[in-house]
Amino acid sequence: MSQLIEVDKDRCNLSFTCIRACPAKAIKIADSSANIIASKCIGCGNCVVVCAQDAISFRHEIDVVNDLISSDSKVAAICDPAISGEFNDISDYRKFVAMIRELGFDLVGEVAFGVDLVAQKYRELLEDFHGKYYLTTHCPPVRSFVEKYRPNLVENLAPIVPPFVAMAKVMRKKYGEDIKVIYITSCVSAKDDARSFSKTDGKLNGVITFQELRQMFDIAAINEYSVEFSDFDPPVGRKGGLYPINHGLWQAVDMQQDLLNSSIISADGRNNFLQSLREFSVESTLNQNIDLYYCEGCGMGPGMSPGDKKYTRQSNIIQYVEKRLKVIDESNWKNDMAAYKDLDLSRSFKVTDKRLPQPSEEEVDRVLHDMGKSKVEDQLGCGACGYPSCKEFAVAYCQGLTNFEMCYSYSIKTLHTYINKVHAANENLKNTKEALKESEEKARKEEVAAREAAETITAMLNKIRAGIVMVDADLNIIEANLSFVKMMGEDAKMLNDVIPGLKGADINTLLPFGKLFNTVLQTGQEIINRDTTVEDVILNVSVFTIKKHQIVGGIIRDLTAPEVRREEIINRARSVIRDNLQTVQQIAFLLGESASKTEKVLNSIIEAQKVGESHGS
């Protein structure tokens, strides 16, 4: 059989409401959802009630009940006294008894009589006082919580069965041991508590809640107008019908709660339940027996229909009991009590300690530090995580029950950090976009300028009569002017119409002297004014470096062209004249030097002659 409480992970919105409501801290967050730790759960059903997303549900046993009803077995339903608080929409209790019979139950009993029997056992236990104080065990979550989380108090649990088990024993004694008994209740925890009596005459063959009972009515289309009056099968209860209300158990045996004389303290509701257990221990000075209800009375159990109608339900329960007392046969009730007083209503308990190891102070302090809560004033706690203080949260973290994301303040700080980072990233992105936009605009302008410059250069090149060509390291043409294209012939003109400037063409396929360009690429030494003949055409070629070993340019002139020939003749005549002038200048310079030397020699001879003549005279 599946576990008692389960979570629909698709519905869970991680509100942590269930964690705040769980007294056993049997819920942890994992895989982006709340997860019930079945071994730690006490079945109180608080999480089911508080979950606004309806993501948590308890185990339904409608199919189990229907299978029993459909079998050959005799099936009895026993109804929790809180049923009078549940069906306030039905005019007469005999109607909902008849509706239950209509579902197929052979017998319908009233657990209120079981309350009367159990209350009598409690009275005997407390009146036979030997210095020991007890915790009542008629509420299943109380028994489960003490066994799992207050093992030192297990010996103080009153060894008496809950009323529904007592009633199951009564039904089997009266109607046969082979009957199947189904308990209809407001208590979800009773579904698991009933399993403790699976091998006794108090065995329950199924437990359904009032919510499940209403579902069965709806499916079968049963309502109060479709049935006649029917009463509970005997034995019936007396004041046991007050059991769902705090102090109701003691009212059943007329044990009035006189504050001066009573040895019993009653506590109901989650917070009061936990507080009373904290204060009660064998060493304490709280010398009182404690009557415990986990819920605020059974009329507020998780198996009731939704709606916070505590006092309306209590009023309905009281009114029901008042009506019943007016018609009950006291003598029959006393005879029934006598007939079943010898039933064994005792039970035992066992420690099933589910407490987790407590971490050291150092571990807790480390967690608090990692959460940014090293200071005491930061550890007061907001309770949003489900734990009353940051320190208890840190303890739970060490026990593997929590994670930092559950801490509201931690998440807010982390979120703010992320937001600041996102803002900074957005600002950087904005600045980058603006810079990129400016860069793109600048690049666009530069591209336009470059295109205009290229167009200008191309236009200028095309005005030059000499052929001009530039090639890359692979001897592919980068740019060529129209004069070069015309010089290369018709094939080059056709290619130029498709690819302007012959871009990408191999220079070797156009020129027989393309090796000159390769030589300049390799050596870096320029070739200037070299004449070469191609098909009776004399070409003057100059090849020079534009970018060393990467780009070279060439200027090619057709010396046979009239305008070039005239220009070339003039240039070459000027060159000859310039060379002749240089020669004449050199000859004149040499003649001048020779005449000067001759003059000097002759002058020297004349001077020598004059000196000789003067000495002779």
Residues of the chain with pLDDT > 70: what percent?
A: 89
The residue with tokens 């019979």 is 101
Sequence-distant (≥ 6) Cβ neighbours of residue 283 within 8 angstroms:
none
Q: How far apart are CA 464 and CA 469, in angstroms?
A: 12
Do the Cβ atoms of 47 and 18 come closer than 8 Å? yes
**CATH number for the domain whose boundaries are 1-59:** 3.30.70.20
Among 253-257, 259-263, 362-366, 469-473, which is the least confidently predicted range? 259-263
Do the Cβ atoms of 301 and 295 come closer than 8 Å? yes
> Is residue 259 scored above 70 in pLDDT?
no
pLDDT at 573: 54
How many residues are listed for the chain in this entry? 617
Among 58-62, 164-168, 456-460, 602-606, which is the least confidently predicted range? 602-606
> Is residue 527 scored above 80 in pLDDT?
yes
Q: Are strands 527-534 and 537-547 parallel, antiparallel or unpaired?
A: antiparallel
Hey, what amino acid is at 73? S
> Is residue 596 scored above 70 in pLDDT?
no
User: Which pLDDT band holds residue 578 (cuts at 50, 70, 90)?
Assistant: low
How many C-beta atoms lie closer than 10 Å to residue 513's C-beta?
18
Among 181-185, 237-241, 612-616, which is the least confidently predicted range? 612-616
* The two structure tokens encoding residue 328: 């009950």
pLDDT at 226: 94
Higher pLDDT, 593 or 516: 516
Q: How far apart are CA 129 and CA 133, in angstroms?
A: 8
> Is residue 588 scored above 60 in pLDDT?
no
Helices (H) and strands (E) in the chain, counts: 21, 15
pLDDT at 463: 78
Can you tell me the mean pLDDT for 329-358?
94
Do the Cβ atoms of 115 and 342 come closer than 8 Å? no
Q: How far apart are CA 497 and CA 456, in angstroms?
A: 19
Q: Where are the domains of the chain?
A: 1-59, 60-339, 361-406, 464-560, 575-617
* The two structure tokens encoding residue 411: 């998440």
Long-range CB contacts for residues 509-514, cutoff 8 Å, separation at least 24: 510/477, 513/541, 514/475
* Burial degree of 158 (CB within 10 A; 0-12, 13-18, 19+): buried
Do the Cβ atoms of 168 and 195 come closer than 8 Å? no
pLDDT, tens digit (0-9, with 9 covering 90-100), for 64-111 = 999 999 999 999 999 999 999 999 888 899 999 999 999 999 999 999
Average pLDDT, the chain: 86
pLDDT, tens digit (0-9, with 9 covering 90-100), for 400-420 = 888 887 877 777 777 788 888
Q: How far apart are CA 90 and CA 94, in angstroms?
A: 9
The CATH class for the domain spanning 60-339 reads: alpha beta
Residue 564 to residues 372, 464, 467: CA-CA distances in angstroms?
Answer: 90, 12, 12
* The two structure tokens encoding residue 529: 């004014």
> Is residue 478 scored above 80 in pLDDT?
yes
Q: How far apart are CA 19 and CA 26, in angstroms?
A: 8
pLDDT, tens digit (0-9, with 9 covering 90-100), for 159-176 = 999 999 999 999 999 999
* Burial degree of 365 (CB within 10 A; 0-12, 13-18, 19+): middle
How many C-beta atoms lie closer than 10 Å to residue 577's C-beta?
10
pLDDT at 107: 98
Q: How far apart are CA 97 and CA 81, in angstroms?
A: 12
How many C-beta atoms lie closer than 10 Å to residue 337's C-beta?
15
User: Which pLDDT band holds residue 387 (cuts at 50, 70, 90)?
Assistant: confident
* The two structure tokens encoding residue 395: 């303890």
Hey, what amino acid is at 45? G
pLDDT, tens digit (0-9, with 9 covering 90-100), for 547-565 = 898 999 999 888 777 765 5
Find the Cα–Cα–Cα–Cα dihedral 286, 288, 291, 292, rounded to 10°: 10
pLDDT at 309: 86
Can you tell me the mean pLDDT for 188-215?
94
Do the Cβ atoms of 307 and 88 come closer than 8 Å? no
Residue 226 to residues 96, 103, 292, 372, 477: CA-CA distances in angstroms?
Answer: 11, 12, 40, 65, 103
Can you tell me the mean pLDDT for 255-270?
76
Q: How far apart are CA 350 and CA 148, in angstroms?
A: 9
Q: How far apart are CA 551 and CA 568, in angstroms?
A: 28
DSSP calls for 441-472: HHHHHHHHHHHHHHHHHHHHHHH-SSEEEEE-
Higher pLDDT, 571 or 380: 380
User: Which pLDDT band holds residue 385 (cuts at 50, 70, 90)?
Assistant: confident
How many C-beta atoms lie closer than 10 Å to residue 207's C-beta?
26
Q: What is the 3-state secondary structure (H, E, C) of 278-294?
A: HHCCCCCCCCCEEEEEC
Q: Give the DSSP H/E element, type plus range, for residue 28.
A: strand 27-30
* The two structure tokens encoding residue 166: 């007592």
> Residue 597 phi/psi, 5° resolution?
-65, -40
User: Which pLDDT band holds residue 485 (cuts at 50, 70, 90)?
Assistant: confident
pLDDT, tens digit (0-9, with 9 covering 90-100), for 3-37 = 999 999 999 998 888 988 999 999 998 888 999 99
> Is residue 602 scored above 80 in pLDDT?
no
Residue 338 to residues 120, 155, 241: CA-CA distances in angstroms?
Answer: 11, 30, 19
Tell me the chain's radius of gyration from C-alpha atoms: 56
Residue 8 to residues 5, 33, 37, 62, 303: CA-CA distances in angstroms?
Answer: 10, 9, 14, 20, 19
**CATH number for the domain whose boundaries are 464-560:** 3.30.450.20
User: Which pLDDT band holds residue 530 (cuts at 50, 70, 90)?
Assistant: confident
Do the Cβ atoms of 380 and 390 come closer than 8 Å? yes
pLDDT at 182: 98
The residue with tokens 């052929």 is 467
* The two structure tokens encoding residue 243: 């059991």
Do the Cβ atoms of 279 and 272 come closer than 8 Å? no
Do the Cβ atoms of 317 and 309 come closer than 8 Å? no
Q: Give the DSSP H/E element, type plus range, for residue 207.
A: strand 206-209
pLDDT, tens digit (0-9, with 9 covering 90-100), for 415-458 = 788 888 888 888 888 888 888 888 888 888 888 887 787 777 77
- Beta-ladder partners of 291: 266
> Is residue 115 scored above 90 in pLDDT?
yes
**3-class state of residue 356 by DSSP:** coil
Sequence-distant (≥ 6) Cβ neighbours of residue 167 within 8 angstroms:
78, 109, 110, 111, 113, 114
